[in-house]
Amino acid sequence: MSTTRPLRVAIVGAGPAGVYAADILSKSGLEVGIDLFERLPAPFGLVRYGVAPDHPRIKQIIVALHKILERGDIRLLSNVDYGTDVTLTDLRRFYDAVIFSTGAIRDADLPIPGIDLPGSYGAADFVSWYDGHPDVPRTWPLEAKHVAVLGAGNVALDVARMLSKHPENLLPTEIPDNVHQGLLANPVTDVHLFARRGPAQVKFSPLELREMGHVPDVDVIVYPEDFDFDEGSMAAIHSSNQTKQVVKTLTDWTLKEPEDLTASRRIHLHFLHRPVAVLGPDHVTGLRTERTVLTGDGSVTGTGQLHDWPVEAVYRAVGYFGSPLADLPFDEIAGVIPNREGRVVEADGTPVPGVYTTGWIKRGPVGLIGHTKSDAAETIKHLVSDVDALERATEPDPAAVIAHLAARGVEPVEWSGWMVLDTYEQALGAPHGRERIKVVPREEMLAVIRRET
């Protein structure tokens, strides 16, 4: 590629994956202009809309992302919907390369009978509600006294904790007002979390698990009969300090005496129970599980022994799943954009020139922030090595894409606009001793940004 002008790169998705990709590209040694597109009015993706509000430690990731974007060398263009406001053909006119980092926000399927009954929910939808995502309803049907949560990861823990935690204990957080009001009416007394494998196989982080044991007026109950360790379990415990800590916490909870369990709400952790059906004629009335046994290598097999649990709601937290993007290939089984180390390819393996991907839409919804950084570095390494072969954009002027959006009636929210909303939310929270109170409706967010309130 000629060096008569800077490389122009668009990144679609302003969550951690997109921001880290932009940061790494900006430090690659290339002269480059980067535009970071986001369909919501606010950046930061699942860190803003996928982390429980009572986890401010994880929310601090936003501070690191904020520092990257406030430098000013990466242009943020929020409130722009890829596929509607701008297409891949459009982006190829304005940019020499495009990176997709749109993440995975849908719930993975759990193909068991009754999973679609009223009263059966996806955890991702519930998380979006309690995190104040602008594209979900303002209310949530909290009517069940007994609830089942299916899954053995941190999202399952978050859902169980948010369902059982008393709303007043969430007030110091950035919980939106409509969510607090909704939780006030929550009649729940018992939340049952089901994991199909044993205590040594769960994906809880030690810190999140321990935190659950300190929720006021909520008892955590673990059943000794659900504890089993095979050779694979012992190997996992000895080889992983994280697994060792998780198993120790769970084991300590099995030693609680019945007289110590005095809270008004309870979280029951059940291991070696595989969900096989959600029960009910026209609404959830129960969950059926099959007892499983460890097979020696940490995996399990069914025993045929069934148990019915009387619950009135079921939340599946069995993973996130990516969504197809217009004009791009998509792997419907893995829920990702087909790629080779970040270079997008067609289903038959043919490369899509100038198009790349990173983050969960590249590799699936696994790994922590550290994985996201190394994943972005891999993609950027390939983009940089491809520079000389990239087809040049025909309209590379940074003003051209803004004019294109304006012609479609789209007014992007740039970094300065986000700063207005950020300051406003913090000001809402300050009188209450809270870091912020999140503005939820999209139209209200935009009114604040445009100083119409």
User: What 3 state SS string does the chain have?
Assistant: CCCCCCEEEEEECCCHHHHHHHHHHHCCCCCEEEEEEECCCCCCHHHHHCCCCCCHHHHCHHHHHHHHHCCCCEEEEECCCECCCECHHHHHHHCCEEEECCCCCEECCCCCCCCCCCCEEEHHHHHHHHCCCCCCCCCCCCCCCEEEEECCCHHHHHHHHHHHCCHHHHCCCCCCHHHHHHHHCCCCCEEEEEECCCCCCCCCCHHHHHHHCCCCCEEEEECHHHCCCCHHHHHHHHHCHHHHHHHHHHHHHHCCCHHHCCCCEEEEEEECEEEEEEECCCCCCEEEEEEEEECCCCCEEEEEEEEEECCCEEEECCCEECCCCCCCCCECCCCECCEECCEEECCCCCEEEEEEECCHHHHCCCCCHHHHHHHHHHHHHHHHHCHHHCCCCCCCCHHHHHHHHHHCCCCCECHHHHHHHHHHHHHHHHHHCCCCCCCCCHHHHHHHHCCCC
> How high does pLDDT run on average in the chain?
95
pLDDT, mean of residues 440-446: 96
Largest CA distance in the chain: 77
Give the span between the Cα atoms of 226 and 278, in whole angstroms.
21
29-46 pLDDT, tens digit each: 999 999 999 999 999 999
Percent of the chain with pLDDT strictly greater than 90: 91
Indicate the pLDDT class of residue 1, thresholds 50, 70 and 90. Answer: very low
Among 43-52, 118-127, 353-362, whose mean pLDDT is lowest?
43-52
Give the pLDDT score at 371: 85
Residue 211 in tokens? 């935190």
pLDDT given for residue 56 in this prediction: 73
Residue of 46, 68, 66, 65 whose CA lies nearest to 55: 46
For tokens 């929310």, the residue is 59
Instruction: Locate 299 and state its tokens.
Output: 């995996």
pLDDT tens-place string over residues 241-295? 999 999 999 999 999 888 889 999 999 999 999 999 999 999 999 999 999 999 9
> Which neighbouring-strand residues pair with 233?
none
7: which residues sit within 8 A by CB, 6+ positions away? 1, 30, 31, 32, 33, 96, 97, 387, 390
Check residue 453 and give its pLDDT: 65
CATH number belonging to the domain at 7-105+322-413, selected among 3.90.550.10, 3.40.50.2300, 3.40.50.720, 3.40.50.800 = 3.40.50.720
Burial of 187 (0-12, 13-18, 19+ CB in 10 A): exposed
Phi-psi sector, 45: left (phi>0), alpha (psi -120 to 50), beta: left
What pLDDT is attached to residue 366? 83
Cβ atoms within 10 Å of 59's Cβ, excluding its own = 19
The phi and psi torsions of 41 (rounded to 5 degrees) equal -70, -20
Task: Please provide the distance, in angstroms rounded to a whole number, between the alpha carbons at the two ends of the chain.
Answer: 47
Assess contact for 21 and 11: CB atoms under 8 A. yes
Q: Is-contact 65 47, C-beta < 8 A?
A: yes
pLDDT score recorded for residue 442:
96
Mean pLDDT along residues 208-231: 95
What letter represents residue 370's amino acid?
Answer: G
Give the residue-averaged pLDDT of 167-183. 93
- From the list 121, 156, 106, 158, the residue with the least C-alpha distance to 317 is 156
Cα angle, residue 322 at apex, residues 350 and 316 outer, rounded to 5°:
150
Q: What is the pLDDT of residue 2?
A: 46
> For residue 452, is pLDDT > 90?
no
Tens of pLDDT, residue by residue over 122-166, are 999 999 999 999 999 999 999 999 999 999 999 999 999 999 999
If pLDDT is split at 50, 70 and 90, which confidence band does 325 have?
A: very high
Instruction: Tell me the CATH architecture of domain 108-319.
Output: 3-Layer(bba) Sandwich (3.50)
Res. 186: pLDDT tops 90: yes
Please state the rounded mean pLDDT for residues 416-440: 94
**Contact (CB, 8 A) for 412 and 77:** yes
Q: What is the pLDDT of residues 79-119, one digit of tens each?
A: 999 999 999 999 999 999 999 999 999 999 999 999 999 99
Which among 419, 415, 411, 396 is positioned nearest to 76, based on CA atoms?
Answer: 415
Give the bridge partners for 7, in sequence order.
Answer: 32
Share of the chain above pLDDT 70, in %: 99
CA gap 232, 49 in Å, rounded = 36
Query: Token pair 């321990």 is at which residue?
Result: 210
Predicted confidence (pLDDT) at residue 345 exceeds the cutoff of 60 = yes
Domain residue limits, the chain: 7-105+322-413, 108-319
Taking the C-alpha atoms of residue 191 and residue 45, their distance in angstroms, rounded to an integer, is: 28
Cross-strand pairs, 174: none
Residue whose pair of structure tokens reads 């302003």 in the numeric block: 14
- Residue position matching structure tokens 């190394």: 374
